[in-house]
Chains A and B, each alone.
Chain A
Amino acid sequence: MAGKLTLTVSQLNEYIRRMFQLDPMLSHVELRGEISNVKLHQTGTLFFTLKDEQAAISCVMYASDAAALTSVPFEGMRVVVSGGVGLYAKGGQMQFYVRGLRAEGVGVLYERLLALREKLAREGLFDRERKRPLPVYPDTIGVVSSPTGAVIHDIIHVSTRRDPDVRILLCPARVQGIGAAQEVADAIALLERIDSVSVIVVARGGGSMEDLWTFNEERVVRAVAGCSKPVISAVGHETDVTLCDLAADFRAPTPSAAAECAVPVRAETEQRLSALREALVRSALQQIGRKEAAVGLMRARLSGYSPQARLAEAEKRIAALRLQLRAQMDRTIQNRADQLAQRRRELDMLSPYRVLKRGYAIVTSGGHAVASAAGIRPGDPAVIRFADGMAEAVITSIRTVQTAPEEGHGGEEEKDAFI
């Protein structure tokens, strides 16, 4: 123990740094505490403070170690970190160099998930009314996924099977670990800006809840919900529901199923198009047929008013009237004939010649019928007319008789005149 040793600051810090390093306990220790002041440096190095009720310690987690994390640890998260104590020689601060980090206790992540879900649900991000229909005939299918592995392979395979001429634009992104959420959100935004992209598939294979954590991160959920193009989410297995799934317009149980939803079968598209062409021609023909029928109907109605039709109509009426007239005339003539015959019969009944047939005779003298003895004088010539001829006579004498008043028949008088 000689005189005091004089050291430079560097020497001291270096000495302490080595002391920490050489202590087996301090270089391999687990530390329990609550996280605060999280900062993620551009290089991927993670800085935060770990504290309990009484004390705090600065922590550093290098990018190479932080890459294994599923997500950036959040404020207040209770964790167990593993690593060693060291000295940041430049500033002389004691730090804990974190090599591993895990959430303490079951349900920490889950609670956070529920809280975020609750918050975003209140904002309406998961509302059914927000869901947009997927395009039936998309142009390019945008895919956000890892460029390696089964997921993109499955999507390409299924898509190509459905449409050999499918267009896919992959925007590669890390799908787990620190920074993955930002990459996924950026990828969605990038694909959204490309016109030809009609629908965006966000896909990741199965994994633990921590593995899928990226898709529960707020910025991913907001990117999906805010995307102007329909988003299909196919994250994890069917049983894992992430907030990304809830915010998407459509949730597919697997990446293959997402491709099935996004890509129409080409043959069906072709069929549909040719069916539309046929329908177009058919409905045009029907339309023309309808017009033709309407014109025909008009023509028929119009021709009813044409001069020819009116003439024909008039001729028909004339012919009918002619017939009526003739029939009427016939009836009239017949009536007259009947009347005439009747009169004739009546006249015959009254004819004086009928009387002659019964044996009477008519006496005329000087061209006049002599109906009374007073109408003739002796010496007068007379003509006696019988039914079958006549005789000429001369009146020799006249004798008048008294006729019975009830018997007014002149015939008897005449008869008497000749007796």
Chain B
Amino acid sequence: MAAKKKKTLSFEEGMDALEAMIGRLGEAELPLEESIALYEQGVALCAQLEQELAQKRRRIEQIDPETGEVEPFEAS
């Protein structure tokens, strides 16, 4: 299995980033432009995470230790 290039946030990182944004947005001295930008980023991230969650499908697989091939796993 080729190592996937990590260009997007993982779900976990996304959730962390979202929480950080909300925390930042709660700061009183945040400039307006920044808060608008943060809000827009946050909404986009929300949508991305929701979509990710909605598109997640059950996948039970096993990897062959010799060949590294991945195939569905059926418990016997």
Contact = CB atoms under 8 A, between A and B. Distances in A.
Contacts of B19: 276
Nearest to A157: B75
Contacts, number: 116
B65 A186 contact: yes
B51 to A, nearest CB: 11
Interface string B21-32: 110011010101
Interface in B1-16: 1, 3-4, 6, 10-12, 15
Interface string A146-177: 01100011001000100011111111110000
A167 B62 contact: no
A153 B75 contact: yes
Interface of B: 1, 3-4, 6, 10-12, 15, 18-19, 21-22, 25-26, 28, 30, 32, 35, 38-39, 42-43, 46, 49-50, 53, 56-63, 65, 68, 70, 73, 75-76
Contact of A165 (B3, B57, B65, B68): B57
Contacts of B3: 193, 195
A135 interface: yes
- Interface size range of chain A in the complex: 35 or more
A137 B59 CA distance: 16
A139 B11 contact: yes
Interface in A283-297: 283-284, 286-288, 290-291
B35 A284 contact: yes
Given A280-B18, A284-B35, A137 B65 contact: no
Contact of B62 (A138, A169, A269, A272): A169
Which of A165, A168, A280: most chain B CB closer than 10 A? A280
Contacts of B11: 137, 139
Interface in A119-141: 135-140
Given A269-B53, A273-B53, A284 B25 contact: yes
27 contacts: A137-B10, A139-B10, A164-B58, A165-B57, A165-B58, A167-B60, A167-B61, A170-B62, A170-B73, A172-B62, A173-B65, A190-B65, A191-B63, A194-B63, A195-B6, A198-B10, A273-B15, A273-B53, A277-B43, A281-B39, A283-B26, A284-B39, A287-B25, A287-B26, A287-B35, A288-B35, A290-B28
